[in-house]
Amino acid sequence: MGGARGAISAVIPWSTEPRDGGLAVHTIVLFGGGCEAGKAGSRALHVKLLGDVRPLFYVPVPRAKSLFGDVSMVTVGFPYLVSVTWWDVPPSQVGEARAAAFKAAILKQLPAGAGVYFTSMITQGGKVGRRVFNTNVQGAVFNTAVGKAALARFLDTLRANPAAVFPPRDFGRILVNGGSGLRLVNDPAYPCACQAPAPPTAPDAKR
């Protein structure tokens, strides 16, 4: 893995799930050496994962045999807060109107000034798959104590009872999974130079 290997400080397989007849292992990779070094290492690793993954998992030639069977990679290209699956509504029926209703249902739970955006994908399960919205929220309001508390309440409600946010009469069954690749609030124990606030500037002197 070249330069990327030198920057990796930990590899954490944190959950598994069946996928396409195999087993998907969701893995977190941590990079040390400072923020810029970590970003460079993660980009280098990402390039390798997008290419031929056999050198990472196969015994070198002449045996050239995989230690894990056939292996493929899926990377998180768009971090998200929650993953929402439309369980009862076919993907072809989740159009602009339902997408707008989905967005409105979330905004109803959040303070004024919040925004909602999401990317859409179709899973490969079943005959036609299911529509999934990988969803984020944004807004300066979440920098305030009130906004953070509102976001926490929204996530607690969503985890405990998705139907309270998405009424079944309008959305059918909705399944909710946690986010991936997203850190809402920087933990002071893990400072990052890339995210440090800009130094204050001196006010203009009065003439």
Reported as a single tens digit per residue, the pLDDT across 94-106 is 999 999 999 999 9
* Distance, C-alpha 90 to centroid of its chain: 23
State the average pLDDT for the chain.
75
Q: Given CA atoms 78, 80, 86, 92 in this order, what sign does their dihedral have?
A: negative
**Annotated domain spans of the chain:** 2-75, 80-180
Rounded to whole angstroms, the Cα distance separating 47 from 45 reads 5
pLDDT tens sequence across 141-177: 887 888 888 888 888 888 889 999 999 999 999 988 8
Residue 203: predicted pLDDT: 54
Mean pLDDT across 44-58: 74
Name, in order, each residue with C-beta under 8 angstroms of 10's C-beta and a sequence gap of 6 or more: 28, 29, 30
CATH architecture of 80-180: 2-Layer Sandwich (3.30)
Sheet containing 80-86: which strands, arranged edge to edge? 115-122, 131-138, 80-86, 174-180
Name, in order, each residue with C-beta under 8 angstroms of 198's C-beta and a sequence gap of 6 or more: none
Tokens representing 69 are 């069977």
Tokens representing 192 are 């990052």
92/72: higher pLDDT: 92
Residue 36 above 70 pLDDT?
A: yes
Tokens representing 104 are 């409105």
Residue 110: predicted pLDDT: 92
109/54: higher pLDDT: 109
pTM for the structure as a whole? 0.57
- Nearest Cα neighbor of 102 from 81, 68, 132, 124 is 132
Residue 41: predicted pLDDT: 80
Residue 33 above 80 pLDDT?
A: no
Tokens representing 83 are 């993953």
Instruction: Give 23's pLDDT tier (boundaries 50, 70, 90).
Output: confident
Residue 207: predicted pLDDT: 47
